[in-house]
Chains A and B, each alone.
Chain A
Amino acid sequence: SQTIHQWPATLVQPVGSPLSLECTVEGTSNPNLYWYRQAAGRGLQLLFYSVGIGQISSEVPQNLSASRPQDRQFILSSKKLLLSDSGFYLCAWNNGLAGGEQYFGPGTRLTVT
């Protein structure tokens, strides 16, 4: 069966510090991978998606970036965090087959102080 991991689970970082969140998927190959953010009281905003190694598409211009160094690894980064980067970050995957269901990881709670 497939599982998706995210770490860390929670993170408190000062403004201007760097960020690296990691997501890995097990039990599947060549998944589509996604990064979402849920800000307080808001829905799920798609930030980045990737259909293969090194292939990143950005949905929203911001100071975040994403990378996919390996087939089942997806990393969300920032060089300098802003207060507005606080939120709940979710990684998701799907296998690209008809249906479109995405399966989400447990999330990372980021607080920028």
Chain B
Amino acid sequence: DQQVKQNSPSLSVQEGRISILNCDYTNSMFDYFLWYKKYPAEGPTFLISISSIKDKNEDGRFTVFLNKSAKHLSLHIVPSQPGDSAVYFCAASDSGGSNYKLTFGKGTLLTVNP
């Protein structure tokens, strides 16, 4: 059972436009959500996160929105740049345990065209 779902395997946008990456989850115990960016043959790098007590978190060009009632979050990248082309993973955690396991989605490949 996939608890974190990224239903779009790929997304293509023009440079300068907005990129919107979506993520849905099913586990109501998740209370922390993260986005990672991954280039080929490299480890994922942490981008931005949001606690379940918030509905928005912004860091430069990156904004994450959380809709708890819909169990949905999204990552907005504005403006998109060619260097943003990568696979983006959504992840969620249940902080009830100290080991902080993350459950990842399958990722969305973002391509930003010049």
Please give the residue numbers on chain A whose beta carbons come within 8 Å of chain B beta carbons, in ascending order: 32, 34, 42-44, 46, 49, 51, 57, 88, 90, 92, 94, 96, 98-107, 109
Contacts and interface: CB of A to CB of B under 8 A. Distances in A.
A34 B93 CA distance: 14
B102 A107 contact: no
B25 interface: no
Contacts of A105: 43
Contacts of A94: 100
Nearest to A104: B43
A51 B107 contact: no
Category for how many chain B residues contact A: 20 to 34
B100 A102 contact: yes
Given A42-B106, A43-B105, A101-B49, A96 B43 contact: no
Contacts of A103: 46
Nearest to A57: B99
Nearest to B31: A100
A10 B111 CA distance: 26
B100 A109 contact: no
A49 B101 contact: yes
A43 B89 contact: yes
B62 interface: no
Nearest to B32: A100
A43 B106 contact: yes
10 tightest A-B contacts by CB? A104-B43, A43-B106, A100-B93, A100-B100, A44-B104, A100-B32, A43-B104, A104-B44, A107-B43, A101-B46
Contacts of B89: 43-44
A100 B34 contact: yes
Interface string B41-57: 11111100100000000
